[in-house]
Structure 1
Amino acid sequence: MPHQDARSVQRRRRIKRVLIGVFATTVVLVDTGAAAAQAAVGNEQLAITTPPAGSTQWVADHSLGRLLPDPATADARSVAAFFASLTAAQADRLATDYPLVVGNLDGAPLPLRYRANRLAIAAERDRARARAADLQLDADTRARAEARANDSEHLLAPERQILAFDPRGRGLVSEVYGDLAQARRVAVLVPGSDADLGHFDQAVDPLRSPAGMGRALYAEEQRKAAGTPVAVIAWTGYVTPVGLGPDAVTDRLAQAAAPRLGRLLDGLSVTTDPAAPPALFCHSYGTVVCGTAAPAIHDSAPTDLVVFGSPGMGVADVADLGTGVRVWATRNPTDWIGNVPYLEVGGLGHGADPTAAAFGATRLSAAGAEGHTGYLAEGTDSLHNFADIALGDYTDVVRPVRS
């Protein structure tokens, strides 16, 4: 019997590997060939689910004569109440002593988080520079350290507002465009695979990066409604899949990401005052994250949830996403994601196509958009539609020519 059980486990593992290969190959062969498809089944990532570095010391700090809110368990309202009870000097001292904790603590005052994250980013830049200059390390390690230092340095530009920063693993970054505290309309961009510190902001083909998408949406909103205070958050607050490997065809990383997205929204509910709940714009694997998080979203008004370039949301239709969201979906005909099998088999795949009529989402035109990352390109129907939805101007939304 033990031998039979072992053989059964091995057989299931082999079947899973084959299915992963089928999902990856279906897409990759369209553009890049068999070698890339074979490589796509690697690169499994380690999800980040624990509080940032310094949290243990933070919880043990009794210097204020009281308990500090535990980053692992405290809700945003209790965090906000705690900081409201501090003097400016006390809050600044905590941000200086524990920049990674304060910078990632949803519910903490926004200006304090921005300052804390500048300290954390500068520390990471200096650490990476030291490693890059360490001749005892091999050339590849030093080159990676140099790249990390450069990526961190770019985030320290005076105009940048970094809402969250965590250097663990590939690095997590979230950035704000606009005055988040005063915004009457807030949008949150949830990116998909390959989003991390090293790919957060790209000079070449910027719409492949979360920062580029965030800036494009913010600029379009400003163009359409110059008198309305708006803000956009590019949220790379979870460990994303790398390429088209096993993580891209399962919901494991999305399951870890959904509570983190929920905490972001909870934090925004006590640190901002928009006219409507923040709208979610979810791209590629980010749509799986949003689909996983959606049933827990509840507010006085529905949350607009826009999915584009989606491989599926892990559900059969909009009813499975709960009553707290209003779902919009689009995909342009040149997007390779349309070649993904829209099904779920043994935990692989992400279910139904959100752009299919039977799914029940309101479908949007993406005319003018090209490829998997072209949805926020200037002049496209998709960018026009995204800005209108972010602004709550639903009457101007453009639907597909053919339903």
Structure 2
Amino acid sequence: MHRRRIKRILVVDARRRRRIKRLMISVFAGAAVLVDAGAAAAQAAASNEQLAITTPPAGSAAWVLDESFGRELPDPATADPAAVAAFFASLTPAELDRLIAEYPLVVGNLDGAPLAARYRANRVAITAERDRARQRGQDLTLDATARALATSRANDSERLLADGRQILAFDPRGRGLVTEVWGDLATAQRVAVLVPGSDADLGHFDQTAEPLRSPAGMARALYAEEHAQSPGTRTAVIAWTGYVTPQGLGPDAVTSRLAEAAAPRLERLLGGLKQTTRPDAPPALLCHSYGSVVCGTAAPTVHGAQATDLVAFGSPGMGVESAAELGTGVQVWAARNAGDWIGNVPYLEVGGLGHGADPTTHAFGAMSISSLGANGHNGYLAEGTASRHNFAAIALGHYGDVSGPSESQG
């Protein structure tokens, strides 16, 4: 009887896996049909796609035209982080206060600007967004759905204003972009950047019910694990929701369109960190799910005397067939647990659909690491898992403490 019950469970599990795989293949196939179905069908598909944010935030046009400082202000669309850092170094305290008051969204999102100035500016911007959303939530000329959405936006913004939160970037456009820091980024010896995947936005940035489903929850877990492993090391973790992510398993999830729009924004973040931080090694990139597509797209531009550690976990592919295609500036690590449904997606790229080879295979060429104890697509940073331990060890540079699959399972 016991054997028959186990057999039934295995059969049900196998059927579930086949259904998930068929679903993903149907997404690929459905998108492919739209490619061949003519302009009308393509426009219908586009109506469900996310609009990528690639332009500077609100206030940038007025900022560029502002001549009241007696010199040009760095163009948020074109100025490199080094030029931005030099400009802010030339400001008096009064000039800096004025820029924060008049252009909080510009200062708060300007890579290369001083960290403390960005934190201050983003509090101003978030407060303004909270107040705007509250007013909409109480506006009886709006329908009930619009008021409820506005109230939810106000509550999400309010949470970011809690004491001690360090918001490195905030942009209320669309679903909302948020980047937060744990630790003292200005003095950190080791820095890690978490790049999340689908459904990450202002409304899902910090979840209390299932924290590891959110960028903030993953970042807190990583920061806590780093401190547990090496309490004497000054660390900082950045949760970077600095790009428009796919929603669900729609057409955006199976193409690299949003990743290609996100990659320059990630590159600018890293360029800004070079100006405002002094870690012992380049920031480690921990890239979850679709975030690994973003990291794979950005990786060839990462160069330096020391390689950047890039961890792809729960990855649908990185847009390449091998780690060698990501360039010499990165050391690639990969993890996937047996219960993660992402392992059932077709690891291929056909006509712009799909994200290439499976990073966890030997042929890909990444360093495979254990995720023993982790379960599901969002369980990699759960307490006590091998993946949580390994991610922190990599971020700390303690490579000898990183376990491979066979080491943890043997």
Structure 1 unaligned runs (5+)? 1-17, 26-39
Distance 2:228 2:27 in 1: 44
Q: In the alignment, is the contact (CA less than 8 A) between 1:217 and 1:232 conserved in 2? A: yes
Which residue of 2 is the match for residue 372 of structure 1? 377
Where do residues 374-389 of structure 1 align in structure 2 (5 Å cutoff)?
374-389=379-394
Q: How does 1:207-356 map to 2 (within 5 A)?
A: 207-356=212-361
Aligned residue in 1 for 2:404 = 399
Specify which of 155, 158, 161 is matched with residue 160 of structure 2. Answer: 155
Q: Aligned-pair distance for 1:331? A: 0.2
- The partner residue of 1:107 within 103, 109, 112 is 112
Aligned pair partner of 2:101 in 96, 104, 111 = 96
Match of residue 133 from structure 2: 128
Tell me the distance in 2 between the aligned counterparts of 1:288 and 1:297. 15
Q: Distance in 1 between matches of 2:198 and 2:322?
A: 23
* 2: CA distance, partners of 1:20 / 1:137: 41
Q: CA deviation at 1:72?
A: 0.1
Q: Take 2:403 and 2:24, find their aligned partners in 1: how far apart are those partners?
A: 38
| Structure 1 counterpart SS, 2:405 | coil
In structure 2, distance between residues paired with 1:343 and 1:69: 42
State the shift of 1:92 in Å. 1.3
Aligned-pair CA distance for 1:19:
8.9
Displacement of 1:377 in angstroms is 0.3
Name the residue aligned to 2:26: 21
Which of residues 156, 164, 176 is equivalent to 1:171?
A: 176
Q: Give ranges in structure 2 of 5+ residues lacking alignment.
A: 1-22, 31-44
1:203 partnered with 2:208 = yes
Alignment partner of 1:362 out of 345, 367, 370: 367
Given the superposition, is the C-alpha separation of residues 22 and 57 from structure 1 closer, same or farther in structure 2, using an over 3 Å criterion? closer
Superposed CA RMSD in Å reads 1.7
Q: Provide the identity percentage.
A: 74
SS in 2 for 1:177: strand
Preserved contact between residue 106 and residue 264 of structure 1 (Cα < 8 Å): yes
Note if contact 2:27-2:249 (Cα within 8 Å) is conserved in structure 1: no
TM-score, length-normalised on structure 2? 0.89
Note if contact 1:24-1:41 (Cα within 8 Å) is conserved in structure 2: no
Displacement, 1:299?
1.4
Q: Distance in 2 between matches of 1:274 and 1:77?
A: 17
- State the alpha-carbon separation in 1 of the partners of residues 159 and 113 from structure 2: 24
- Distance (whole Å) between structure 1 residues aligned to residue 179 and residue 305 of structure 2: 26
Match of 1:117? 122
Taking the aligned partners of 1:42 and 1:194, their CA distance within structure 2 comes to 17
Check if 1:48 corresponds to 2:53: yes
What amino acid is the match of 1:308? F
Pairwise CA distance, 1:89: 1.1
Given that residues 304 and 325 in structure 1 are in contact (C-alpha distance below 8 angstroms), is that contact kept between their aligned partners in structure 2?
yes
The 4+ residue runs of structure 1 with deviation greater than 4 A are none
